[in-house]
């Protein structure tokens, strides 16, 4: 019997979104709907031959993986997982496969939709006015206009570039920065390349679209936030640790910036007593930037394909790093 664990199926969709019975009667699939506490990972996961991961919801460093002797295959949704020690698994001879998802049929990527939802919720005071209205107050404050404002983009890759046409429709000017961004690349997508201090000083909306790495971890700390306008808002749909969380909370509490829209956090799920939940002028979402039905259906269907191919001795969609 081959035992398969599908982890972090928060919304209980994995079972219905793929035909796991295709794997045959000799494969037993178990679905874990809640996060497994860190101190229980080894005793729980050591029972399985195959793990199916939903993105980076559960971190599996070497210190965990080396205590999973039965493990033969790890499938991660997406083709990259920074929370998984792929190099160590390769050393052990464990196969790591990924999923490619489904190409969007026009429009903008889901993460960009979420970024704009956060921007509009903050500047148009959607959550604040909704709450006030339900409590009996009509028109608590003044919404802000996007036309004429400056959108600053930290990162101008696929997602950052997809922010630009939407900003144009709203009549915003767009500036951008990243370490390797050239003026030519910025111009090609309709943005102006600036240096980092200018990005911070000029942005009315600063939206982060960078990959998390040792270089970008803590990239926006207290010193950077102090350069922003007190009327500016920060949007993060990338990864939580790119922004120093304590510094951000301090900036919100002191009014150094006007607000923050966050879809990502240092710790996910966010603990119920986390200080961000009480921070002023925030709109918080539970990492919805990659969550939609077509993507989930494609990922879980391809996870079944990955497992079947592995069991037949012909692994597919293997990760090299």
For 163-182, the pLDDT digits (tens) are 999 999 999 999 999 999 99
CATH number at residue 139: 3.40.50.720
Number of domains making up the chain: 2
Judge whether 18 lies within some domain: yes
Judge whether 220 lies within some domain: yes
* DSSP-assigned letter for residue 13: -
Mean confidence (pLDDT) of the chain: 96
- Mean pLDDT value across residues 8-23: 96
| Cα gap 153→210, rounded to integer Å | 9
- Domain assignment of residue 40, given as a range: 2-98+292-311
Q: State the helix-helix crossing angle for 110-123 and 158-170, rounded to 10 degrees.
A: 40
Same domain membership, residue 205 and residue 126: yes
Helix, strand or coil for residue 252? helix
Phi, psi of 12 (to 5 degrees): 55, 50
Same domain membership, residue 147 and residue 30: no
Same domain membership, residue 254 and residue 120: yes
Told to judge if 301 belongs to the known catalytic residues of this protein, a careful annotator would answer: no
Told to judge if 268 belongs to the known catalytic residues of this protein, a careful annotator would answer: yes
Residue 315's CB: how many other CB atoms inside 10 A?
Answer: 15
Same domain membership, residue 171 and residue 65: no
Residue 73, beta-bridge partner list: 50, 95
Kindly report, residue by residue over 227-280, the tens digit of the pLDDT.
999 999 999 999 999 999 999 999 999 999 999 999 999 999 999 999 999 999
The active-site residue, picked from 13, 268, 297, 301, is: 268
* DSSP-assigned letter for residue 56: T
Same domain membership, residue 145 and residue 87: no
Judge whether 49 lies within some domain: yes
pLDDT at 103: 63
Kindly report, residue by residue over 105-116, the tens digit of the pLDDT.
678 899 999 999
CB 73 within 8 A of CB 307: yes
Instruction: Give the CA count within 13 Å in the CB-facing half-sphere of 27.
Output: 19
Residue 284, beta-bridge partner list: 262
Judge whether 320 lies within some domain: no
Is the pLDDT score of 152 beyond 80? yes
Same domain membership, residue 154 and residue 301: no
Judge whether 212 lies within some domain: yes
Same domain membership, residue 259 and residue 129: yes
The active-site residue, picked from 32, 55, 125, 239, is: 239
Tokens found for residue 254: 């002191």
| Cα gap 166→188, rounded to integer Å | 15
C-alpha of 30 from chain center: 25
Same domain membership, residue 265 and residue 120: yes
pLDDT at 41: 98
Sheet containing strand 73-76, strands side by side: 27-31, 2-6, 50-53, 73-76, 95-98
Residue 269: cis peptide before it, omega within 30 degrees of 0:
yes
Same domain membership, residue 89 and residue 177: no
Judge whether 150 lies within some domain: yes
Q: Shortest CA distance to 154 belongs to which of 172, 180, 173? A: 180
Same domain membership, residue 6 and residue 64: yes
pLDDT at 104: 59
- Mean pLDDT value across residues 188-216: 97
Told to judge if 32 belongs to the known catalytic residues of this protein, a careful annotator would answer: no
Same domain membership, residue 192 and residue 83: no
pLDDT at 153: 98
C-alpha of 53 from chain center: 15
Judge whether 140 lies within some domain: yes
Same domain membership, residue 270 and residue 131: yes
| Cα gap 90→12, rounded to integer Å | 30
């Amino acid at each position: 019997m081959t035992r398969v664990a599908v982890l972090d199926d928060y919304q209980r969709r994995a079972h219905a979104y793929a035909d796991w019975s295709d794997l045959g009667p000799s494969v037993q699939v178990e679905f874990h709907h809640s996060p497994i506490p860190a101190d229980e990972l080894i005793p729980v996961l050591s029972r399985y031959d195959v793990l199916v991961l939903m993105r980076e919801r559960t971190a599996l460093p070497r210190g965990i993986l080396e205590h999973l002797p039965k493990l033969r295959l790890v499938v991660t949704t997406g083709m990259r997982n920074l929370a998984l020690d792929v190099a160590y698994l390769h050393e052990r001879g464990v196969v790591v496969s990924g999923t490619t998802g489904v190409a969007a049929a026009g429009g903008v990527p889901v993460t960009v939709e979420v970024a704009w939802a956060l921007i509009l919720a903050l500047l148009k005071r959607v959550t604040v006015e909704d709450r006030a209205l339900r409590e009996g107050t009509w028109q608590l404050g003044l919404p802000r206009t996007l036309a004429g404002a400056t959108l600053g983009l930290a990162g101008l890759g696929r997602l950052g570039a997809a922010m630009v046409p939407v900003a144009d429709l709203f009549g915003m000017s767009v500036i951008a920065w990243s370490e390797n961004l050239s003026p030519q690349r910025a111009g090609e997508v309709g943005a102006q390349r600036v240096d980092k201090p200018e990005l911070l000083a000029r942005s009315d909306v600063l939206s982060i679209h960078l990959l998390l790495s040792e270089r970008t971890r803590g990239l926006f700390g207290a010193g950077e936030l102090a350069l922003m306008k007190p009327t500016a808002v920060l949007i993060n749909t990338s990864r939580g640790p790119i922004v120093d969380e304590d510094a951000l909370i301090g900036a919100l509490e002191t009014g150094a910036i006007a607000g923050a829209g966050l879809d990502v956090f240092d710790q996910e799920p966010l603990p119920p007593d986390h200080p961000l939940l009480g921070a002023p002028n925030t709109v918080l979402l539970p990492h919805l930037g990659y969550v939609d039905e077509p993507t989930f259906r494609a990922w879980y269907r391809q996870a079944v394909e990955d497992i079947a191919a592995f069991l037949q001795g012909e692994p597919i969609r293997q990760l090299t790093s």
